[in-house]
Structure 1
Amino acid sequence: MIWLTRLLAALLLLVGLIVAAGGAYLIWLGGSPYYLPGGIAVALSGYWLWRGDRRAGWLYALFLAITIVWALCEVGLGGWQLTARIVGPALFGLPFLLPFIRRRVGKGAVAAGLASLVGFLLILGCALQSPMEIAALSGRSGTPVAIPGDPGLWPSWGRDDAGTRFSPLTQITPTNVETLQLAWTFDTGHDPMRAPVPSPLQSTPLMVDGKLLFCTQTNIVFALDPETGKPLWRFDPKVDPKGGSAVRTCRGVAYHDGGAAVPAPCPRRVITATYGAQLIALDSATGRPCPGFGEGGFVDLNQGMGRTAPGLYYISSAPVIIGDVIVLGGWVADNVSTDEPSGVVRGYDVITGALRWAWDMGNPNNAHGPAPGEAYTRSTPNSWAPMSADAKLGLVFVPTGNATPDHFGAYRSAQSEKYSSSIVALDAATGAVRWSFQTAHHDLWDYDVASQPTLIDLPAPGGTIPALVQPTKRGELFLLDRRTGKPLAAVRERPAPQAGKVPEERLSPTQPFSVGMPSIAGDRISERDMWGITPIDQLWCRIHFRKLRYDGPNTPPGLTESLLYPSLGGGMNWSGVSYDPERRLLMVNSIYYPTLMQLVPRAAAGGGAGPGASHNATDFAAPLPMAGTPYGARLRGFTSPLGTLCLAPPYGRMTAIDMTTRKIAWQRPVGTVRDSGPLGLEVGLPIRMGMPGFGGTLVTRSGLTFFGGVKERAFRAFATDTGEELWSVRMPASGNANPMTYIGPRSGRQFVVIAATGHVTSQSFPLGRTFHAYALPQEAK
């Protein structure tokens, strides 16, 4: 067996030399001194093992002992962190226990093998748990709250116009949820990998008028039988897919019941908006366009938008309807140029399709549309995220993005600066601004307010305070009085990093932090947070981190590569949060995915202005053009050569916040590595790490939280009060959409429905095309 001994010796020598060389470079960069002597020890052990020198085992045992002590000193008992530091060296130590190696190098081999076993036992004792977990101190019961309307329906995208995603249903409970089974599936028939670009199915159905109503990423609208999932009708607007990007999607439709005031046809109508920038009203009974709405059921949303091109402007989120007004914004392609369509927000008559009002932040004179030959102000911040509404206050709450292009702001107007990355309350009748609150000043990081504002009522002496919770990509949760926009939880302006910007740019000296609410942003990253499958790729990540420009949150983009964390994906993204008003728990799902950002000179970026350059689905490192500025931008994930994130887990968490105390009630990583791994390979092990994703939660009165939005092909139910996982099921793709629930009108069964989606940006493949409905067995309901 001499050849096996020499193979181990050669591997130790090679790995040791690589680690020593990298360790020397890391020390030169100001990093940890561990790797240089560690690498020398490993290489020398290999050399002595090759020669049969008995010192080989003793030296390797000493190296392992020092490695274990160093790891504990650096990261404590964090299981995943210890794994990255100890498993690789320990694996090389186990072969020393083989008889033929023991005979060659003596008792030192036993010492090396035993040190390896100690390392494995230490990791096993930590049970691969993240230190970023907070257990619930105790369970809690809810105080009943009156929920208006039919409890068995799901009439709006967030179930209600407040965006709470709270269902008052109680048939499925923490005690019987483990018996949930698949009731039906529905295949949309669309191949999500079809050209021009892959795009995920992210729609959340409505349950209203005896039907499930939803749209696909190709804007086909379906009505299904809610008991069986069988199609009742289908409407295809035949949208031209040219100019696509990886975020091409339709996340939902809206519904309006005009009652006796609207005679047939179309007293009850489905409102949808398309990738081709059309607003469409369909008869809920038949799926046919409503003839009295616009031109034969269609309104052209390109009216007044000026120069545009396919894919530069479209509607990705469900419109909100307040009274008889449809309110919608639109998605404008990121980072294409300084001359893109307007971010105008518009209100349309739900019966006729006529324009009621327009909020053009750059020109108030366009309140009723621009004059012939003119257009809404170009390149203003858009509102692509879902909106919320308060009919009692007569307000629509509009989350805004930043003005294009995202990563260079020197040419932005004063109005764009004022309303960028904000929540803006508009008068639903006129479109006039009542108040606004900015969540990121002079946003250069694509920190769009991507989540639907969630409206809650906070207990107060003598009654309640109408409040608004705004999740952000920055990981900050802002709590505002929705009447005035004034903070109800303290907000503090803190100094922002200033070094590294390009000469033409200006920076905000401060950024707002919501210090009165728990931050979900994660801690500031340091070298010890670097992670890897092996010591070599962890060392690579440490070296790369030391070479980056990083001054904490809001490090400005510049010509040298910088670290963006929280990332432009979040924090919290379009799925929003859920709120249980009876337990007063806010359920927050969040992402921890660092991004590398670098501005490149105009010549290196090219001048193309095609929308496909925005959120490129195939080449994530391709420069984004930002035409009209001196620079382009290059963005990519901070990953090792093995394709794993350089940041230590968790990458996805769920947090319950007690809105009475405004403290974290519990927090846990969600998602396993079963469908992930190095080099894109699936590990196949259900080891909980906490995975990134973009789907949202659903909470029920019975005390359940449903969630599928991680990079894993699974759908789960948790106890809302403690975070305990109670049920999970495998799906053909990950559930990166928001689930919903309802009562079947004939059977009386409670169903929970989610789209099996996958996701392009998080590299969660395959992309799905089916909806899955789960219910209790017939006899158990």
Structure 2
Amino acid sequence: MAVSNNGIGGKELKIVTLALGSIAALLGLGLFAGGVWLASLGGAWFYLFAGLLLTIAGVGLARRAGYALWVALILLGYSVIWALSEVGTDFWQLVPRLIVFIVVALVFSLFAPQLRGKSGQPVLGVKVSLALAAVCFIALAGLVAGMFRPHPTVVAKNTAPAAQINPSAGDADGNDWPAYGRNGLGERYVQFDQINKDNVDQLEVAWTYRTGDLAVDGAEYQVTPLKIDDTLYLCTPLSKVIALDAVSGEEKWRFDPQAKITESTEGWKRCRGVGYTDLDALSLDAATDEPVGDAGMVAAAPAMCRKRVVSTTIDGRLFTLDAETGKLCEDFGDQGFVDLTEGLTPDVEGGDEGSYNVTSAPLVADGVVMVGGRLNDNLTVGEPSGVVRGYNVATGELLWAWDASRGASDSTPLPPGETYAPETPNFWGTASYDPELGLAYFPTGNQTPDFWTGNRHSYSDEYNDSIVAVDLKTGQERWHFRTANRDPFDYDVSAQPILYDLPKADGTTTPILIALTKRGQIFVLDRRDGTPVVPVEQRPVATDAVEGMNPAPTQPYSALSVGADPLRESDMWGATIFDQLYCRIQFKQMRWEGEFTPLSDKQRTLIFPGYYGGFNWGGGAVDAATGTLLVNDIRMAQWGRFIKREEAERIGLQPSTEGEYSKQLGTPWGVERSMFVSPLGVPCFKPPFGTMTAIDLASGETKWQVPVGSIQDAPVLGITPGVHIPLGMPTMGGPLVSKGGLTFFHGSLDYYVRAFDNDSGEELWRSRLPVGGQGAPMSYIGEDGRQYVVVVAGGATRTGTNDNRGDYVIAYALPRQQ
């Protein structure tokens, strides 16, 4: 209620108004000083004037002068006009611009009866004061209430069910999920509609299984299981393979390859998936009527291993298991294992032991196992080759080897004892396969160290951040497409390419490949020859780099992208007007001439889109029945700068591949980098920080875009908010799309699995998980006729501690019919 002399005594009121006025004046002075600083940098002048008004209002309140109320109301009106002119009606942009000034106006309104005009009379009576305070309170309550509901970035114009272009999509895979992306096309689409928009809110936990391998000490669960017949197959971060009953979740068997933990993998343990093959069901060669691959070897494989689970280890080995028993197929390779480090140069001095390892699911198709590998980033030059290899799935025989140093010229394996050229761009994700064209498609990274381009080989520049198409049987390159001309920011292309047949107006289709990049660019290519289907243009970029850096003068940009608009000063954000001002000052002090602004040793460079994405390894999904692409993205700006290694050591920076400092031995500079956040620990740029987006592939139109994830479980300065405010947080993993009109997702920073309406983006269902998740959901029909949706949850992405970690495999289904 308004404060009057009938309540608190006069002496106490003087103390209260003096204290509140002093606080307001001090905050105003801080805002004014920061505003002067920002204006001197060429930034907005609003903060300077707002700080001045707040200071005047605060002094007036301390003196109990009537003008304090009018200045506070003028300040509120000024902030409203400025905010609307700068950011329109963007809710999350309005919050920090207005909330402090609404609170100020509310407090000053409550004290209005105590403020005296020139005549010595109260500036407002109690009733008017209460009415004015009520208006401010309603505005404040409206802002607070708005925080608890999602604010789509793009609102669906048409929420009617999308037309079915291909009603039989997904049928070829039956009731199973036989490959990492459900099939070799990487669609992540199921034709099941038992779970649909009308009943998804009835989903319940059908069973829960715990692997026993907690995601601790650098281990992360990012796996998408497979389902074949009545069995679910998955791997743990320590490379163990486990088979579960798909209906009950009971363990059938497990196999432990006893993976060695090396210096390189001590803090980086992953297994994103396994592969599967049935030797008896291999495709037959049209000319010989024999199985693809070495027909004799396939026929000679023992009965025990006709059906095989194919997996890799974090210490660089490839192995196969009998799918029924989990026993090692000892006729594969050398006593059941293929050593993927053969043909690679040894670890270099200054690097980590075991630099080469494998974290992603292999492609298994038509008798061939296709694998790449992960290498350490940023520690040193001379890392092993990024060679991509194909092996006979029955014998483990090396069939071919593609590496960037040889490119399209030669894919024959090197003789024993020879090594593939070091420092070539590597492929660390999962490939896709078109059985009609016989082509496999894989994405590449760049030559490490990532942030120094002065030592790049010509072939590294030619193949960095590319999509490469090779003949699956021979490894012979057919074409490649580069998504960056020279990459100075670790913009590896890591997502599995999505293959889709795009309908044309004349009734024919174009076989396309959808390449999702960390830059947020979506390149849509004809997968027959790599030519763009969606236009791509070369745009000039900044080239004012340090000596020897050798930046590319242009970079490719697709007409289709998500979250890749260049940042402006007005995009700077914060929880309040004060840390927003801090972020704007920091932005104006950084180098920023667009996405490819080179790093410098003189000042920090803003990096956006950040090197985590855009789109990371989790990839996307396509509703193959309606031609809708579903993608989740990350919007997290970083900053970086070059630093001499002696200086880094002097100030105590600790080197690592993924942390805030890397040595980059063999180059002139180390690199320091970090997230661009305010002193409160929140991002310095506008929300959302992660979204789910639906794109009509025929038109290229964004159908809807909604924030994904709340702040509920995301610690800020060590404090977990515990409230479900759907700001839209950075995402990991990927989506699952179903014919039931639903998109499932659980790779958010809060502990939920969600189902979105494919036509509107509305969240229709949300279920609490014991810990966060990072992988992609999968779905199948069990032997009992029920549709299951399965997620694996081991903890939210890279928390830096062993808190809130797990080992859960959770299956959801509708209640059993009575």
Q: How does 1:654-733 map to 2 (within 5 A)?
A: 654-676=692-714, 678-733=716-771
Distance change >3 Å, CA 704–CA 114, structure 1 → 2: closer
1:462 to partner: Cα distance? 5.2
1:142 aligns with 2:164: yes
CA RMSD, 1 decimal = 2.3
1:29 aligned onto 2:51: no
Q: Which moved more, 1:115-124 or 1:217-226?
A: 115-124
Q: Is 1:370 the equivalent of 2:381? A: no
Per-residue Cα deviation, 1:291-339 (whole angstroms, up to 9, x for no partner): 1011221111111112125341111110001211100000111111111
Equivalent AA in structure 1 for residue 491 of structure 2:
Y
Counterpart among 356, 369, 376 of residue 326 in structure 1: 369
Query: 1:279 and 2:299 equivalent?
Result: no
* 8 Å Cα contact 1:61-1:112 kept in structure 2: no
TM superposition shift of 1:246: 5.1
Change (3 A) 1:98 1:490: closer
- Out of 528-537 and 111-120, give the one that drifted further: 111-120
* Residues 337/182 of structure 1: CA separation in 2 closer, same or farther (3 Å cut): same
Task: Check conservation: 1:293, 1:353, Cα contact below 8 A.
Answer: yes
1:717-762 Cα offsets, whole Å, 9 max, x none, are 11212222211111122222110001112x1111000112333447
1:133 Cα deviation from its structure 2 partner: 2.2
CA gap 1:557/1:247 in 2 versus in 1, 3 angstroms: farther
Task: Give 1:173's match in structure 2, choosing from 188, 196, 210.
Answer: 196
1:344 aligns with 2:366: no
In structure 2, the residue matched to 1:751 is 788
Q: Distance in 1 between matches of 2:655 and 2:622?
A: 36
In structure 2, do the counterparts of structure 1 residues 186 and 42 end up closer, same or farther at CA, with 3 Å as the change threshold?
same
Offset from partner CA, 1:417-460 (integer Å, 9 cap, x none): 11110000011111111100000111111111111100000123
Distance 1:29 1:342 in 2: 46
Pairing 1:97-136 to 2, within 5 Å after superposition: 97-98=109-110, 102-105=113-116, 106-107=122-123, 110=129, 113=133, 116-117=136-137, 119-120=139-140, 123=143, 130=151, 132-136=153-157
1:638 CA drift (Å): 0.6
1:361-440 matches, within 5 Å, as 361-363=404-406, 367-440=411-484
CA distance in 2, matches of 1:322, 1:666: 35
Which residue in 2 is equivalent to 1:566?
A: 609
User: Separation in 2 of the partners of 1:204 and 1:136?
Assistant: 33
Structure number with larger C-alpha Rg: 2
Contact map agreement 1:269 1:281 (CA 8 A) in 2: yes
CA-to-aligned-CA distance 1:368-392 (integer Å, 9 cap, x gap): 4434543111111000011101122
For 2:671 and 2:756, the matched residues in 1 are separated by: 40
**Letter of the aligned partner of 1:494 in structure 2?**
R
Q: Deviations over 1:153-198 (max 9, x none)?
A: 000000000000011112111111110001111112223223xxx3
Alignment of 1:207-222 (within 5 A): 207-222=227-242
Count of aligned pairs? 765
| 1:290 equivalent in alignment to 2:332 | no
Once the two structures are TM-superposed, the CA of residue 413 in structure 1 deviates from its matched residue by 1.0
Distance 1:677 1:52, change over 3 A: farther
Aligned to 2:274: 253
Name the CA distance, whole Å, in 2 between partners of 1:88 and 1:5.
18
In structure 2, what is the equivalent of residue 12 of structure 1? 24
Quote the Cα distance in structure 2 between the aligned partners of 1:289 and 1:713.
Answer: 36
User: Which amino acid in structure 2 is aligned with residue 267 of structure 1?
Assistant: R
- The answer (yes or no) to whether the contact 2:72–2:104 under 8 Å persists in 1 is no
Aligned twin of 2:400:
357
Alignment correspondent of 2:178: 155
Partner of 1:487: 532
Alignment-derived partner of residue 38 in structure 1: 50
Name the residue aligned to 2:578. Answer: 536
SS in structure 2 opposite 1:431? coil
Q: Secondary structure at the match of 1:689?
A: coil
Is the 8 Å Cα contact of residues 468 and 482 (structure 1) preserved in structure 2?
A: yes
What is the CA distance between 1:771 and its match in structure 2? 1.4
1:314 pairs with 2:365: no
Residues 170 and 624 in structure 2, CA contact (< 8 A), matched pair in contact too: no
Deviation at 1:247, TM superposition (A): 4.5
Amino acid of the structure 2 residue aligned with 1:138: T
> How many angstroms does 1:38 deviate by?
1.5
2:410–2:476 Cα contact (<8 Å) kept = no
Query: SS at the partner of 1:415?
Result: helix
State the SS of the aligned residue for 2:663: coil
Q: CA 1:727 to 1:763, structure 2 compared with 1: closer, same or farther past 3 Å? A: farther
Q: Is the 8 A contact 2:343 2:420 kept in 1?
A: yes
Distance 1:217 1:240, change over 3 A: same
Q: 2:115–2:123: 8 Å Cα contact kept in structure 1?
A: no
Alignment CA distance shift 1:611-1:223 (3 Å): farther
SS of aligned partner of 2:303: coil
Cα separation, 2, equivalents of 1:349 and 1:169: 33
The aligned amino acid for 2:222 is: Q
- 2:285 equivalent to 1:264: no
Is the alpha carbon distance of 1:462 and 1:74 closer, same or farther for their aligned partners in structure 2, counting shifts above 3 Å? Answer: closer
Amino acid at match of 1:443: D
Q: Which sits farther off after the overlay, 441-450 or 136-145? A: 136-145
Q: Which amino acid aligns with 1:773?
A: A
**Taking structure 1 as reference, are residues 291 and 129 closer, same or farther at Cα in structure 2, changes over 3 Å only?**
closer
- Normalised TM-score (structure 1): 0.94
CA distance in 1 between counterparts of 2:211 and 2:328 reads 20
Contact 1:601 1:631 in 2 (8 A): yes
Report the CA distance between 1:477 and its aligned residue: 0.9
For residues 126 and 733 of structure 1, the distance between their equivalents in structure 2, rounded to whole angstroms, comes to: 27
1:611, 1:241 → 2: CA distance?
21
In structure 1, give the amino acid aligned to 2:309.
Answer: V
SS at the partner of 2:717?
helix
Q: Give 5+ residue unaligned stretches, structure 2.
A: 1-11, 117-121, 282-298
What per-residue deviation string (whole Å, max 9, x for no partner) do you get for residues 468-512 of structure 1? 11111111111111111111121111111223x111111111111
Q: Verify: 1:224 aligned to 2:244, yes or no.
A: yes
- Identify which of 454, 458, 483 aligns with 2:502: 458
Q: Is the Cα contact below 8 Å between 1:162 and 1:456 reproduced in 2?
A: yes
CA–CA separation in structure 1 for the residues paired with 2:520 and 2:358: 25
1:614 corresponds in structure 2 to 657
CA distance, structure 1, for counterparts of residue 86 and residue 715 of structure 2: 25
Offset at residue 28 of structure 1 (A): 0.8
Sort the Cα spacing of 1:468 and 1:288 in 2 relative to 1 into closer, same or farther, 3 A: same
Task: Give, in angstroms, the shift of residue 150 of structure 1.
Answer: 4.2
Does the C-alpha gap of structure 1 residues 398 and 248 become closer, same or farther in structure 2, counting only changes over 3 Å? same
Match of 1:183 in 2: 206
SS of the residue corresponding to residue 91 of structure 1 reads helix
Corresponding residue for 2:96?
84
The equivalent position to 2:598 in structure 1, one of 547, 556, 573, is 556
Task: Return the match for 1:449 from 489, 493, 496.
Answer: 493
Looking at structure 2, the residues matched to 735 and 465 of structure 1 have their Cα atoms a distance apart, in angstroms, of: 36
Secondary structure of 2:304's match? coil
Amino acid at match of 1:17: L
Show structure 1 runs of 5+ residues with no match.
Answer: none
Partner residue, 2:341: 302
Partner Cα distance (1:353, 1:418) in 2: 30
Q: Kindly, what percent of the aligned residue pairs are identical?
A: 40
Distance 2:490 2:796 in 1: 19
Question: How many Å separate the matches in 1 of 2:579 and 2:318?
Answer: 50
Change in CA separation of 1:538 and 1:93 when aligned onto 2, cut-off 3 Å: same
> Paired residue for 1:586, among 629, 650, 674?
629
**Larger mean Cα displacement after TM superposition, 623-632 or 239-248:** 239-248
Kept after mapping to 1: 8 A contact 2:262/2:315: no
**For the residues of structure 2 that align with 1:340 and 1:92, how far apart are their CA atoms?**
58
